Amino acid sequence: MDYREEMKKLRDYLNEQGYLYYVMDAPVIPDYEYDRLLRQLEDLEAAHPEEITPDSPTQRVGGRILEGFTPYAHEVPLESLQDVFDGEEVAEFCQRMEQALPHGVAYSVEPKVDGLSVALEYRNGVFVRGATRGDGRVGEDVTENLRTIRSIPMTLPDKLPRLIVRGEVYMSRAVFQQINDEREVQGQPPLANPRNAAAGSLRQLDPKICAQRRLDIQVFNLQLSDGKTFATHSETLDYMASQRFRVIPHKVMEKTGDVQKEIAWINEHREEYPFDIDGAVVKVDNLSDRTVLGSTAKFPKWAVAFKYPPERKSAQVLDIVVQVGRTGVLTPKAVLTPVRLAGTTVTNATLHNQDYITEKDIRIGDTVLVQKAGEIIPEIVEVDFSKRPEGTSPYLFPQNCPVCGAPVQRDEDGAAIRCTGAECPAQLLRNITHFASRDAMDIDGCGPAVIQQLIDKKLISNAADLYALKAEDVAKLDRMGEKSAENLIRAIEKSRGNDLGKLLFGLGIRQVGEKAAKVLSAHFQTMDALLSATEEELTQIPDVGDVTAKCIRDYLTSPQALDLIGRLRQAGVNMKSTLQQVDQRFAGQTFVLTGTLEQFDRKTAQSMIEARGGKVAGSVSKNTTYVVAGEAAGSKLKKAQELQIPILTEADFSRMLE
């Protein structure tokens, strides 16, 4: 078979399987087989790049990093809807429609997805552009990010000259939970809610980040269609479904009472949708009638959005328990008498932190009003003090970690209270994952999935146990053969010789990031010297303030930390600085690296600057001394020019190093 035919056959087959998986939720081949065929197509495209087409599934992973988003003027405005809040207002809307349209009215009722509205444009059946709603008339071109959404078809069965559809981009509740679980392991703050997560993801300048967020879309309106006409809105929805869009569920009805019942039904079954909803939309179905009705200055007259109020119910606080998260933060929750709320039975509610409990004066035994925050997490809104039992007392956090017994400590800059234990079992996965990460001990192949299996099989109980692992034990893990096990053991062995700075960063000392760890390594040279340093001595070091110094001393004097460091020392892990300080020619100077350097990679250039007393920052500011600009330098170079900061070529930088 000719390679062109083979590539087309693979593209068509994989796109069909993608449609069945991402739109129809009915996969017919296993993930392994899909990935194998995708790799086959990638190899063919690498050999014949001139044959890559926009609809290839390989083009959905995100391309170049964008400098910014360009404005996009919507040919058909993306109008917002007038909100209504009760059944009476719905009845008034229907009455107005029936008076204006005496021949009879049919309504389409749909759930209102809580996401980010976008327009998708197709020419001759090929996706060419996508933009956010913006103010309804001008949005932002986010085409590259929208390409990463697997449920958006890149080509359509019908090749209309032009087609524009409108949809709502969202992050499913399941994906939202998975991402927050991953962020917790990595010590990152959780995403606030699915809507904000979707909006933030779609506006990432790096499409690869958007691709990792696994966004989805529900298409709910046909904005423009050249060469095809329709009589009703419901016909357009059916047509868009035939074009392989994921289309919003909808029902058509004629009576006001039926409309109100459908709105109530959607609310009662909202937990069954994979996406969050914040209401229901009622639209006149006939498109000619819509034209007759027209729009006000703000809204179309032929539709309203019914907004659901947050459901609140009473429950009694049976107990307050404290859980320790993977980052060491102590999180309180209230144990409640069971109550049915927003479609689920609620038995627990988040209490956030000590300040939240104190502010609302929540006590064990109280009767409280509970609602779901953002339709996801149950929380206590207020206390019914009239029902408070006698003899209750204010709730105070424990002074020691309920899991490992180590002292707890409140963040200097926030309300979080953390366990200070270096070997706390509750933080085990997160701590070892951080220890093995690239910027710490750089143990390739030792990610969260592998570490979780090692913990589950009781092969490790702290970071030092990694150095006692044997290849035959690792090979028995899921998805780990002999070769992978040998590679992991080699990576662990190699990490023994890392610089002290990488070890210090890997220990996860609060307030000590990668750069601070390097500074400590260069200054003290040995772990023993650092262990004996006082807070006063620590504060004499650049970039180490009072708070950081206290965190370092608290950590290095705790029994758990001393035990872990002792075990690592016994395992042969290097406890000395390997960075050779050349001189101090760059002392007090801050460099920013941008673009592609030919003679150095970023890490090497950074090490050379630091070995000469300088610092490397990730962004340009008025405190930047020099910007080293390589090929394809972007926004950092532009900002440096605006701030009149000296810009060095790679040749200039090399001369400064000589």
Q: What is the DSSP string of 169-202?
A: EE--HHHHHHHHHHHHHTTPPPPS-HHHHHHHHH
Distant-in-sequence contacts of 604-612, Cβ < 8 A, 24+ apart: 605/653, 607/579, 608/657, 610/518, 610/522, 610/579, 611/579, 611/580, 611/581, 611/582, 612/582, 612/583, 612/584, 612/585, 612/586, 612/657
CATH of domain 590-657: 3.40.50.10190
pLDDT at 375: 53
Helix spans in 87-136 (H)? 87-100
Q: Count H helices, E strands: the chain? A: 24, 22
Q: Which two tokens stand for residue 308?
A: 């659901």
The DSSP code for 425 is G
Please give the Cα distance from 244 to 116 (Å, whole number).
Answer: 20
d(C-alpha 507, C-alpha 563), whole Å: 12
* Amino acid sitting at position 280: A
What CA–CA distances, in Å, run from 202 to 138, 151, 195? Answer: 16, 14, 11
Instruction: Give the residue among 198, 238, 202, 203 at the shortest CA–CA distance from 220.
Output: 238
Give the rounded distance of the alpha carbon of 605 from its chain centre.
30
Indicate the DSSP class of residue 65.
P
- CA-closest candidate to residue 503, choices 426, 577, 611: 577
pLDDT of residue 394: 95
- The 8 Å CB, 24+ separation contacts for 130-136 are 131/72, 131/74, 132/202, 132/203, 133/74, 133/78, 134/71, 134/72, 134/74, 134/78, 136/74, 136/77, 136/78, 136/79, 136/80
Phi, psi of 531 (to 5 degrees): -60, -30
What span, in angstroms and rounded, lies between the C-alpha atoms of 21 and 371?
35
Q: Where are the domains of the chain?
A: 3-60, 82-307, 312-387, 421-579, 590-657
pLDDT for the residue 46: 80
Task: Please state which CATH number belongs to domain 3-60.
Answer: 1.10.287.610
The span from the CA of 648 to the CA of 304, in Å, is: 58
CB atoms within 10 A of CB 588: 10
* Sequential DSSP letters for 525-566: -BHHHHHT--HHHHHTSTT--HHHHHHHHHHHTSHHHHHHHH
Helix (H) / strand (E) element for 410: namely strand 408-410
Nearest to 226 by CA among 83, 97, 76: 76
Q: What is the pTM of this model?
A: 0.60
Please list, in sequence order, all residues whose beta carbon lies within 8 angstroms of the beta carbon of residue 152, skipping any fewer than 6 positions away: 120, 127, 130, 146, 217, 245
Calpha distance 623→645 (Å, rounded): 9
Pairing verdict, β 615-617 and 590-594: parallel
For CA atoms 48, 53, 58, 64, the dihedral sign is: positive
Give yes or no on whether 3-60 and 421-579 have one common fold: no
Successive 10-residue mean pLDDT values, the chain, 658 residues? 82 82 69 74 82 78 62 92 92 96 95 94 95 90 92 94 96 88 73 83 84 93 95 97 96 96 92 89 97 90 91 92 85 91 80 91 95 74 94 93 90 80 86 91 91 92 94 88 91 94 92 86 90 91 84 91 94 88 82 84 81 84 90 84 90 87
Neighbours of 383 (CB within 10 A): 17
CA separation for the pair 457, 475 (Å, rounded) = 13
Cβ proximity of 608 and 634 under 8 Å:
no
Report CA-CA distances (Å) from 396 to 289, 336, 364, 384. 62, 18, 11, 20
Q: Which helix (H) or strand (E) holds 414?
A: none
| CB 114 within 8 Å of CB 278 | yes
Domain 312-387 CATH (choose: 2.40.50.140, 3.30.450.20, 2.120.10.70, 3.90.1640.30): 2.40.50.140
DSSP codes joined into one string, 558-602? SHHHHHHHHHHHHTT---B--PPP---TTTT-EEEEESB-SS--H
Phi–psi pair at 506, nearest 5 degrees: -65, -25
Nearest one of 567, 570, 581, 573 to 518, comparing CA atoms = 581
Burial of 36 (0-12, 13-18, 19+ CB in 10 A): exposed
- Specify the DSSP class assigned to residue 58: G
Candidates 9, 112, 515, 638; catalytic one: 112
Q: Which CATH class is domain 82-307?
A: alpha beta
- Contact by Cβ (8 Å): 481, 508: no
Continuous H helices in 332-396 = 354-360
Please name the residue that has the structure tokens 């023994």. Answer: 496
Bridge-partner residues for 334, per DSSP? 320, 349
b/e burial code for range 142-181 (CB count within 10 A of at least 16 → b): bbbbbbbbbbbbbbbeeebeebbbbbbbbbbbebbeebbe
Q: Which residues on neighbouring strands pair with residue 253, listed in sequence order?
A: 107
Q: Which CATH number fits domain 421-579: 3.30.70.920, 1.10.150.20, 1.25.40.10, 3.30.420.10?
A: 1.10.150.20
Q: Which residues of 211-245 are buried (b: 16+ CB within 10 A; e: fewer)?
A: bbbbbbbbbbbbbbbeeeeeebbbebbebbeebbb
Longest dimension (CA), the chain: 89
Residue 615 among the catalytic residues:
no
Please give the structure tokens belonging to residue 296.
């006000």
Whole-number pLDDT of residue 45:
82
